[in-house]
Amino acid sequence: MYAVIGGRPERFAPLVDLYRQAGDHRHEDLHVTMSAIGLIAPNSQDAKETFYPYWLETMKYGARARGWAIPSRAEYDEYTRGARSFFVGSPQEVADRLITVGNSPVRAARAPDGLVRRALTDVMHAIELLGTEVLSLIRKEFTEVQATISPRNSPRRNAHR
């Protein structure tokens, strides 16, 4: 697993390729999962507006601790446009982005993680949308993958064997 805490997940494809080349396994046996930052809300604008203050506080903390410049609102808007760098948006927008990443060398994507101190109600609603809307959209896209993975041969089940 690797975590994307900023930037487009596609930028990490060379690292996934390197991992697979270095492994002493068949290419298809090496499963890579990505974890990313995000928030799902009923519509894209609500997700972006809700997530922004928490993201900004995290950036301010990082700026103080590490000496970088605090990103502007325009930069945040660019990072969240199309859920490209942060998986922030509507269920359809996040599902589309996860499907895009799922079609890349990264074969699975984990539910978007959040920033610290986000309101519990926002997190719980995002989890509900992930399970009720995003997951069904992704399953429709990857039906043939779902059909080939049963509880007996799932990568997660066999990971400890």
Q: pLDDT tens, 67-113? A: 999 999 999 999 888 878 888 999 999 888 888 877 765 544 544 54
Confidence of residue 27 (pLDDT cuts 50, 70, 90): low
**What's the whole-model pTM score?**
0.66
Neighbours of 79 (CB within 10 A): 19
Q: What would the two tokens of residue 27 be?
A: 């290419």
Q: Which helix (H) or strand (E) holds 33?
A: strand 33-36
Q: Quick: pLDDT tens for 128-155.
A: 888 888 888 888 887 755 555 544 544 4
Nearest-CA neighbor of 109 among 76, 81, 142?
A: 142
108-109 and 87-89 as β-strands: parallel, antiparallel, unpaired? Answer: unpaired
The residue that leads in pLDDT, 16 or 113, is 16
Predicted confidence at residue 69, as pLDDT, reads: 94
Portion of the chain with pLDDT greater than 70, in percent: 68
Chain position carrying tokens 């609500």: 46
More confident residue, 121 or 65: 65
Residue-wise pLDDT for 34-58, tens only, equals 777 888 999 999 999 999 998 999 8
